[in-house]
Amino acid sequence: MATTSVADIVRLGPVIPVLAFDNATQGEHVSRALHAGGVKVLEITLRTAAGLEAIKRAAQIAPDIVVGVGTITKPEHCALAKNAGAKFGVSPGLTREIHDASLDAGLPLLPGVMTPSDIIAAMELGYEIVKFFPAVPAGGIAMLNAFHGPFPTLKFCPTGGITPETAPNFLALPNVVCVGGSWLTPKAALTAENWAEVTRLARAASELARPVR
Give residue 3's pLDDT: 53
Confidence label for 212 from pLDDT (cuts 50, 70 and 90) = low
pLDDT digit string (tens) for 103-123?
999 999 999 999 999 999 999
pLDDT digit string (tens) for 125-164?
999 999 999 999 999 999 999 999 999 999 999 999 999 9
Task: Report the Cα 168 to chain-centroid distance in Å.
Answer: 17
pLDDT digit string (tens) for 40-89?
999 999 999 999 999 999 999 999 999 999 999 999 999 999 999 999 99
Catalytic residue among 28, 40, 43, 56: 43
**Residue 39 maps to a domain:** yes
Give residue 1's pLDDT: 45
Model confidence, pTM:
0.95
Cα–Cα distance between 77 and 99 in angstroms, integer? 11
**Residue 11 maps to a domain:** yes
Cα–Cα distance between 49 and 47 in angstroms, integer? 7
Q: Cβ–Cβ contacts within 10 Å for residue 113, how many?
A: 26
Share the mean pLDDT of the chain: 96
Sequence letter at residue 173: L
**Residue 211 maps to a domain:** no
Query: Does the pLDDT value for residue 18 go beyond 70?
Result: yes
**Residue 1 maps to a domain:** no
Is 131 catalytic? The answer is yes
Contacts with 211 (C-beta within 8 Å, 6 or more apart), sequence order: 171, 172, 174
DSSP for the chain reads ----SHHHHTTS-SEEEEE--SSHHHHHHHHHHHHHTT--EEEEESSSTTHHHHHHHHTTS-TT-EEEEE---STHHHHHHHHHT-SEEE-SS--HHHHHHHHHHT--EE-EE-SHHHHHHHHHTT-SEEEETTTTTTTHHHHHHHHHTT-TT-EEEEBSS--TTTHHHHHTSTTBS-EEESTTS-HHHHHTT-HHHHHHHHHHHHT------
CATH code, 65: 3.20.20.70
Give residue 4's pLDDT: 78
Report the candidate in 4, 125, 150, 134 with the shortest Cα–Cα distance to residue 66: 4
Rg of the chain over Cα atoms, rounded to whole angstroms, equals 16
pLDDT digit string (tens) for 78-101?
999 999 999 999 999 999 999 999
Query: Does the pLDDT value for residue 177 go beyond 80?
Result: yes
Report the candidate in 51, 40, 41 with the shortest Cα–Cα distance to residue 74: 51
**Residue 122 maps to a domain:** yes
Sequence letter at residue 83: N
For 138, the domain range is: 6-205
What share of the chain has pLDDT > 90, as a percent? 96
Is 43 catalytic? The answer is yes
Domain total in the chain? 1
Catalytic residue among 40, 82, 87, 131: 131
Give residue 50's pLDDT: 97
**Residue 212 maps to a domain:** no
